[in-house]
């Protein structure tokens, strides 16, 4: 009986210890820092991020409980600040996107720079 309780506690501690996102794990070393003088635009930079990280749920029509589609520039442009907010949350936080895990910080920075540049299409 004591052995099974000990085993249960040990398994519980192991599971809880695996849920921490360290900042180092979130930085993609293969991506260079963004030059603040470069204009980020939807067609060259943001579209690929949305296609890879969002479109599996935010398709047209949306699936898996997604509340809206993100399949074109207008849809992404209208929700840019919401997208950035959700991408910036830590994995496991309420409303964090994508549900599969936090994107690399360099990717999030690119979306932020796009917004700061005025959300250019091309």
Residue identified by tokens 């479109």 is: 55
Q: Inform me whether the pLDDT recorded for 118 exceeds 90.
A: yes
Listed range (6-15, 54-63, 70-79, 95-104) with the worst mean pLDDT: 6-15
pLDDT of amino acid 48? 98
Q: pTM of this prediction?
A: 0.72
Average of per-residue pLDDT values in the chain: 84
Q: Which of 72, 75, 47, 69 is nearest to 57 (CA)?
A: 69
pLDDT value, residue 117: 95
Place of tokens 């599971």: 15
The phi and psi torsions of 41 (rounded to 5 degrees) equal: -130, 165
Where does the pLDDT of residue 20 fall: very low under 50, low under 70, confident under 90, or very high at 90 and above? very low
CA–CA dist 9, 27 (Å, integer): 33
Give the residue with greater pLDDT, 37 vs 114. 114
- State the pLDDT at residue 18: 46
């Amino acid at each position: 009986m004591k052995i099974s309780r000990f085993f249960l506690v040990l398994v519980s501690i192991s599971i809880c210890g695996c849920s921490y996102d360290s900042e180092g794990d979130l930085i993609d070393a293969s991506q260079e820092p963004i030059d603040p003088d470069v204009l980020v635009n939807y067609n060259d930079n943001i579209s690929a991020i949305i296609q890879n990280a969002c479109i599996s749920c935010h398709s047209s029509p949306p699936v898996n409980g997604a509340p809206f589609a993100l399949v074109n520039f207008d849809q992404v442009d209208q929700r840019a600040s919401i997208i950035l907010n959700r991408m910036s949350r830590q994995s496991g936080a309420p409303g964090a996107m994508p549900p599969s895990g936090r994107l690399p910080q360099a990717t999030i920075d690119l979306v932020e720079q796009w917004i700061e540049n005025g959300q250019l299409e091309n």
